[in-house]
C-alpha cells in the first residue's frame, strides 16, 4: 500500500492558477526555460494539496513529446485526484497552439477514464508570466 511521509496538513494547497504557476516557477530550471521546452505536472489530492511535482519531458526549442501514458502512471502512482500540467514556451509567446489544445484535450479524456481530473494546463515564460489553456475550448464548460 502507498503511504506518504508528509502529513496532509503540511502540504501546499493550490487554490488557483496563480498558486500553481508559483510552484512551477519555483521548481523550473531558470537556466533552460528560455531555451528548451519542458513539461511538468503537479499531482493533487482531493483537497487540492500537492502530492508531488513530476518532470515529464524535455524537448527542443519548438516542442517536445508528451506521452499520456507517463502522465497516467505518475498520477495513479501518487494516488492523485487531480493534476495540473504546465509547459514553457521558450519564445515567450503565451498563446496556446493547436497542438497544445489537442494534447490537453487528450490528456483530459485519458485522466477522466481513471477518475482523475485535469484542473488546468498552464503555459509559462521565462519572464515568469503564465496563461491557461481555456477549459471552455476543451469542452469542459
**Residue 109: which CATH number?**
3.40.140.10
Q: Is residue 60 part of a domain?
A: yes
Residue 36 inside a domain? The answer is yes
State yes or no: pLDDT of 35 exceeds 70: yes
Structural domain contains residue 81? yes
Reading the block at residue 45, the C-alpha cell is 489530492
pLDDT of amino acid 140? 37
The β-bridge partners of 64 are: none
* pLDDT tier for residue 63 given thresholds of 50, 70 and 90: confident
The boundaries of the domain holding residue 95 are: 12-120+130-138
Residues 6+ apart with CB under 8 A from 17: 120, 122, 130, 132
Is residue 1 in a domain? no
Query: Considering its fold, how many domains does the chain have in total?
Result: 1
> How far, CA to CA in Å, does 32 sit from each of 20, 27, 89?
19, 12, 11
Give the residue-averaged pLDDT of 113-139.
85
Residue 7 lies in a domain: no
Predicted TM-score (pTM) above 0.85: yes
Residue 49 forms part of a structural domain: yes
Residue 28 maps to a domain:
yes
Residue 1: pLDDT over 50: no
Predicted pLDDT at 5: 66
Domain-located, residue 45: yes
Amino acid at each position: 500500500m502507498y503511504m506518504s511521509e508528509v502529513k496532509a496538513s503540511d502540504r501546499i494547497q493550490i487554490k488557483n492558477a496563480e498558486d500553481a504557476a508559483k510552484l512551477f516557477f519555483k521548481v523550473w530550471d531558470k537556466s533552460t526555460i528560455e531555451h528548451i521546452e519542458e513539461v511538468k505536472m503537479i499531482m493533487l489530492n482531493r483537497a487540492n494539496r500537492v502530492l508531488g511535482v513530476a518532470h515529464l519531458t524535455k524537448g527542443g526549442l519548438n516542442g517536445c513529446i508528451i506521452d499520456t501514458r507517463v502522465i497516467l502512471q505518475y498520477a495513479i502512482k501518487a494516488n492523485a485526484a487531480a493534476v495540473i500540467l504546465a509547459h514553457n514556451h521558450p519564445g515567450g509567446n503565451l498563446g496556446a497552439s493547436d497542438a497544445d489544445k489537442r494534447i490537453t484535450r487528450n490528456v483530459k479524456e485519458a485522466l477522466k477514464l481513471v477518475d482523475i481530473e485535469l484542473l488546468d494546463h498552464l503555459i509559462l515564460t521565462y519572464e515568469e508570466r503564465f496563461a491557461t489553456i481555456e477549459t471552455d475550448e476543451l469542452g469542459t464548460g
